[in-house]
């Protein structure tokens, strides 16, 4: 994540929280929930407002959040009632633990394409045998900077599937959907399973 992107989420934490916290995550989280056993431990990487943490908790899972913005981390923890660790996906020690499920929703859009293979490999290694991963990316080509100076990186479906397979992930389901925020973005959502014997 670029410095400008990080600054946006820290400085605009309250506005981002208010814009996203009441969006219903059921349509994209249900496939992950259905693929997990009751009581599964789930790491929500880039948990933002804490909306998805609360959904996971209310659906019988044991979630833990990771959020690079201290301001958003505080809001997420208060909203969800779940523990939230301040940190970044590329450096966090939480991926040294084992998780039944990992959620990476709307986070990899800020990560350069060249960094994705290593990140997915590290995430795969943090899943238990048969563990599940949900990840979403924006559909498109190349990268762009928006009016808030946030840098976004876009993916074609087949290209992302190929990178995930190389990281030791087996595709269980995939969805393509319009943004719940009412803009022109199209999101690709994937539920993966860690392949038997895969070390990430």
- Residue 12 located in a structural domain: yes
Tens of pLDDT, residues 4-31 = 777 777 777 888 889 888 889 999 999 9
Residue 122 domain boundaries: 3-194
Asked if residue 174 is part of any domain, the answer here is: yes
- 149 assigned to some structural domain: yes
Q: Is 200 part of a structural domain of the chain?
A: no
Angstrom distances, CA of residue 165 to CA of 7, 147, 173: 33, 34, 13
Residue 199 lies in a domain: no
Tell me, what CATH number does 47's domain have? Answer: 3.40.50.150
Taking a C-beta distance cutoff of 8 angstroms, is the pair 120, 60 a contact? Answer: no
pLDDT digits (tens, 9 = 90+) for 53-79: 999 999 999 999 999 999 999 999 999
Q: Does residue 135 belong to any structural domain of this protein? A: yes
Q: pTM for the full model?
A: 0.91
Instruction: Provide the number of structural domains found in the chain.
Output: 1
Per-residue model confidence as pLDDT tens digits over 24-33: 999 999 999 9
Residue 157 predicted with pLDDT over 80: yes
Q: Report CA-CA distances (Å) from 97 to 94, 123, 128, 141, 179.
A: 6, 10, 9, 34, 32
């Amino acid at each position: 994540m670029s410095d400008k992107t990080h600054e946006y989420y820290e400085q605009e934490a309250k506005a981002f929280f208010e814009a996203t916290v009441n969006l219903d995550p059921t349509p994209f989280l249900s496939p992950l929930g259905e693929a997990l056993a009751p009581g599964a431990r789930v790491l929500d990487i880039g948990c933002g407002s804490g909306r998805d943490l609360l959904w996971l908790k209310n659906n019988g899972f044991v979630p833990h959040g990771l959020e690079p913005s201290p301001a958003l981390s505080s809001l997420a923890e208060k909203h969800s009632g779940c523990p939230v660790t301040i940190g970044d996906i590329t450096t966090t020690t939480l991926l040294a633990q084992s998780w039944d499920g990992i959620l990476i929703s709307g986070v990899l859009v800020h990560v350069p394409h060249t960094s994705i293979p290593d990140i997915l490999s590290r995430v795969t290694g943090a899943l238990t045998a048969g563990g599940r991963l949900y990840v979403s990316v924006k559909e498109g080509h190349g990268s762009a900077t928006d009016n808030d100076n946030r840098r976004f990186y876009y993916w074609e479906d087949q290209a992302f599937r190929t990178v995930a397979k190389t990281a030791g992930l087996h595709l269980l389901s995939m969805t393509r959907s319009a943004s719940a925020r009412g803009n022109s973005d199209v999101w690709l959502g994937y539920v993966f399973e860690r392949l038997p014997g895969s070390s990430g």
